Structure 1
Amino acid sequence: MKKYRIIIFFLFLISIVATDKVYGQINELPLLGKIIYVDPGHGGADPGANHKDILEKNINLEISKILAGQLGEKGAIVYLTREGDYDLARPNIAERKRSDLSRRIRMINESACDLYLSIHLNATTSSTWRGAQVFYDDVNEKNKILGEKIQASFKKHLASRRKLKQINNLYMYRMIKRVGVLLEVGFLSNANERYILQKQYYQRRVANAIVEGVINYFSE
């Protein structure tokens, strides 16, 4: 009888350890099953902002790929609107920009994604402006909540002093009905940010800040 009690006791201990391991795996995958669309802005004939041979479209794509990888590591199912240097316009169309945006809108709206993240860089005529900033359209009430979480993460991890800003006049973000935000992750017109935005260590830091904001959004 004593032998059976010992066996039962050990089985009980094993079950506790196994349960703890499962909970640990769940905690390590806070985005398990979430579908996220990452949209690297511009591409192809559309370089976006630029400074000499430094093009926004390339940095957008680099950060987006790192971001997609980090989201995937947290359990998310991730899609990219583009994975190379091309736009999404139909061939031989005159209004390429409109066609490109319409394709992005359709891809995201017709997906089953839980949210989208549009990755861009900012630029102004002033070289002093800096900092990562989140923009949202109130077409979906949850956009602001997501934006608040990511902007707070930008402040924490990137020391950004910029504030969450509402935009209701940009065609793409007005037409997308899924939850999502526009992320201007730095200023190409600022010499210091232009330098670090090209470095992989900083691109990873940007991606990490976004991931933390997304996790905090889903944790509410």
Structure 2
Amino acid sequence: MKNKIIVIDPGHGGRDPGATADGIYEKDLNLNITARLFILLKDLGFKVKMTRTDNRYLSLGDRVKIANDVNTDIFISIHCNAASSNKANGIETLYYPGSDKGKILAGVIQHSMIDKLNITDRGFKARPDLFVLKYTSMPAVLVECGFITNLEESELLITDKYRNDIAAAISDGVGEYYKKIK
């Protein structure tokens, strides 16, 4: 793990709040979860870089450039979901179609989160239309950590314990990924 570089990306930021519901901003949840994940991955011996460490705006191109410029081994973008229906719930992990290692990474992260979080499994899915997955040159995933528009999930997402659990599940998934691809 020593020489493995992981870039983690808290989605949105600055003038782009992402999804919002009841005074909760996705950009803030993403940054908080990513900061927790940063510590856990460093503790496992990875070299870790965050695309942003504060409430600043970065374009999608900036995020991709950061990942591509440091010879990154894997890229993880952290998000929270939203829907017009407050009944939509669960977590999902997205990867770029045709990326075999991206699919493996998405699968192990998704399974780890489902095992640890006791939340609806929306699966891991190929998504050809997501810029940060399409243009990064390494295995990349986008993790949707729950719906802020679902009352039960938003109540979980605002707790330190649940955000710690999300970060731990993703970190465990990363460890599992490196066992699988050996």
TM range (shorter): over 0.9
Matched, 1:103 2:62: yes
Counterpart residue number, 1:43: 13
From 117, 132, 135, the equivalent of 1:172 is 132
Aligned partners of 1:140 and 1:177 also within 8 Å: no
Unaligned runs of 5+ in 1: 1-30, 89-99
Q: CA RMSD in A?
A: 1.1
User: Counterparts of 1:39 and 1:178 in 2: how far apart (Å)?
Assistant: 14
Match of 2:91 in 1: 132
TM-score, normalising length from structure 1? 0.79
For residues 47-67 of structure 1, the C-alpha deviation after alignment (integer angstroms, 9 at most, x for no partner) is 000013210000000000000
Superposition TM-score, scaled by structure 2 size:
0.94
Structure 1 equivalent of residue 48 of structure 2: 78
**Partner secondary structure for residue 202 of structure 1:** helix
| Deviation of 1:140 (Å) | 2.6
Identity percentage of aligned residues: 36
Supply the AA of the counterpart residue of 2:48.
V
2:161 maps to 1:201: yes
**Residue 78 of structure 2 aligns to a residue in which SS?**
strand
Show the counterpart of 1:190: 150
CA distance in 1, matches of 2:122, 2:50: 27
> After TM superposition, what 4+ stretches of structure 1 lie above 3 angstroms from structure 2?
none
Q: Cα distance, 1:139 vs. partner?
A: 4.8
Whether the 8 Å contact between 1:132 and 1:158 is mirrored in structure 2 is no
Q: Which residue number corresponds to residue 162 of structure 1?
A: 122
- Whole-Å Cα distance in 2 between the matches of residues 208 and 187 of structure 1? 19
* Count of residues in Structure 1 that have an aligned counterpart in Structure 2: 179
The answer to whether 1:210 aligns with 2:170 is yes
Deviation at 1:44, TM superposition (A): 0.3
Deviation by residue 1:106-157 (Cα, 9 ceiling, x = unmatched): 1111111110110000000111121221011125321001111111111100
Whole-angstrom distance in 2 between the partners of 1:209 and 1:150: 7
CA distance in 2, matches of 1:33, 1:111: 12
- Would the aligned equivalents of 1:48 and 1:57 in 2 still touch at CA under 8 Å? yes
Larger RCO, structure (CA 8 Å, separation 6 or more): 2
Moved more, 137-146 or 65-74: 137-146
* Superposition deviation, residue 178 in structure 1: 1.1
Consecutive unaligned residues of structure 2, counting only runs of 5 or more, are: none
Choose between structure 1 and 2: higher helix proportion.
1
Of Structure 1 and Structure 2, the greater strand share is in: 2
